[in-house]
Structure 1
Amino acid sequence: MEKIRQINTQEDVVHLLQVALEHEWAVSFEYTIHAYSMPKGKFFYEDPVMKLRMDARAQTIQIGIDEMYHSLQLGIIIRQFGGDPSFKSDEVIRFPKVIDNLKRDKMTEDLVTDLYQSAEWKEGVFPKIQNMVLNISYDEVRHSKQFETMIRTLEKEGAAETLCFKESAEAAARPEVRLLHEITRMENEMMHRYLRYVLLFSEHQDLSQRLFKNSINHMRHWDKNSGLLVRLGSVVQIENAQREPDGREVSRSPMPSLYSGHDRLSALEALIPAEQELIAKYEKLLAIVPSGENRDQLSLQLGLKREHLFTQEWLLKNAGRIKGLA
C-alpha cells in the first residue's frame, strides 16, 4: 500500500483518500467472503472491546460492513473536493485455512491504520478531514484487536488447521447453485454501481438517499445469498480469481471499476436494465427452487428488486419532466 506522508494541499488529501478508498472497497467484501468460508456458530472468542463472547464469523461480517461505510465516507469527501472516487480495488485473497484469512485481515487492518495515522498534516489544513481520518483509523485499531483475538482463540483451541468451506462436486453440478452464483455476483456489482451514483449525486440529498437504500438492499442480498450458498453445499466465489500453487485464490479485479452514467439521466437509465436483468435471473431461479425456507428468502429478495425497478422508472420519468435538472 502506497504511503502518503505529507498532507499540505487539497490534491494531497484527495490522493490519500483515493489510496484508502481502494483498500476499503477490497476489504468491505473480502471480509464477508472470509466469513462465509468458515462455519457459523463454531468459532467463538471473547471480544476485547465489547467484553462479550462473540461468533467470529458474525463479527467478521460486521467489520466488513464498517469498511463499506468507510468507503462511502471517503468517496463523498473525494467528490466534494472535486475528485472522481476510484472504484479500483486492492487485491482480494482467500487462503485454504480459516486462520490464514484472519491473519490477512489483521495485517490489512494494521497497514491501513498506519496509512491513516502516519500522514503528517500541515497545521490548520483541512482539520475536519484530518479528524475524520483519525476517527476511521481507530475503527481499524478496534478491528485489528478483534481479529488478533480471533486468531489467538483458534490457536488456543487447536483449530489452526481448520479449512475453509469448499464447494462439493454435487453442488457444483446443480443448475440452481450455478445460477445463484451468477446472481450473487450481480448483487455485488449492483451494490457498487448504486454506490457510484450515491457518490456522484451526494449533494442531492433526495436522490442519493434513494439510491443508497437500494445499494444497501443489494449488499444485504449478496450477504444472504452467500449464506444460502453454504446451505446448498457451495461457497461464495471471488470474481476473476486465480488459484495459486499454494491453494489460495487471488483476484486483482474483484469488482467492476468502471460504470456507465455520468449525469442524472444517464445514471438512472443505466440502472433500469440492470435491475430488469437481475429480476429475470431471480425469476428463473425461483422456477427451479423447491418450496421452503430458501425459496421464501429468494422470493422476498425478488420483491425488493421489483420495488427498485418501480422506483428507478419513476425517478427517470420525473427527472425527464424538469428542464435543466442536472
Structure 2
Amino acid sequence: MDVEMKEHEVIHNSLQNGPPHEALFLVIAYLPLFELLSMNQVCKSLRDAVNNDILPWLNLVVNTPLNSRISDDILMKITSKANGRLRTLALINCTRITDDGLQSVIEKNPHINKLYIPSCTGLTPEGVIRAAKTLAEHNHSLTSLKISGIYNINKEHLKTLCSYLDVKSRNREQQKQQRRLYLALKYFSTYAHEKNCPPIDVDVCPKCDEVRMVFECPGERQCQLSECRGCYLCIPRCEDCGKCLEFEELGEAACADILCSDCWVKLPKCSFCNQPYCNQHAHREHSLVGSSGFVCDVCHAKFVNNSYD
C-alpha cells in the first residue's frame, strides 16, 4: 500500500508541477473509450489533446462499464467527435440504444464499414435493416456486421441484410475457407482476426432452421458427431476448445459451462467440489492461504465463509 500511495503522489505532483509526460499524448489514440473519457478530465492539456485529435474517435467501441449507461443522446454526442468520419461502431450489449438513435448516428457517419451491435436488445430487425440500407445508399461498403442477440431476426431479415453487405470484393476462395468457429465468434475481438471471420455473425441453423450464431468444429479429427454444424442450442460445445460434444460426454464446470473430457482433465479443480473453471471464468477462483489450490464461488460461500462465522 505504501508503494502505491507513493506512486500516486508522484503522479499527482507531476501533474501539478508541470505538463503531462509526452508519452501520454502518444497513447491517446489507442485508449479504450472509458479511459479516453477519463483522460479528458485530467488536465487542460490532455483534454485539448483528446478533443482536438480525431484519430481516437474513428473506431468507437462501447462495452463495459459504459454499455449499461449509454443512451441515444450520449452516443450521438460521443460519435460527433469523429466529425462524420466514423469507421467502426461497436456497441456491445448497449440495451438503451434504440432504432432512432442508431439511425441518427448512421446518417451522420455514412462511412461506417464495421457495425457491431450484438445483444443491443433495444434494437429491432427493422431498425438494423434501415441502418444497413442507409450505408448502402451512400455508396459505401459495409464489410462486417455483428447482430447476434437481437431479438426476432428471421431468414428474410438475414437475406436482406446480406444483400447490403459488400462481400463481392472478397476473394471467393477466401470466403470458402472462412469457418464459423465457436471461440472466434462467441468471444470475438473487435479488430482481431477479422479476415478469418464471416462478414455477418449469424446464419440459419441447419438443425432448427432459426437465425442464430452457427458454429463448426475447430478440426475434423476432433469432431464427435457426423453433422456437427449448428447453433449453440442444438449442439453443445466445449467452452475451452469449441469442439462438439455428445450429451453423454459433457463435463461439469464450477461456472456452469460445458467442457469436454480432455479440457476437464487438464484444468485445475476446486479443492472442495473437484470442479474446474473454464479459462473464460478462471478469474473467479478464490485462492487458499498456504496452498496452491483454489476454491470456487459456491464452495467459498458454503465452507470458507461459514468457518469464520
Q: Could you say whether these structures have the same fold, taking a TM-score greater than 0.5 normalized by the shorter chain as the test?
A: no
Q: What TM-score do you get using the length of structure 1 for normalisation?
A: 0.27
Instruction: Give the number of the structure whose residues are more often strand, by fraction.
Output: 2
TM-score (norm. length: structure 2):
0.28
Q: Which has the larger radius of gyration?
A: 2
Bigger proportion of residues as helix:
1
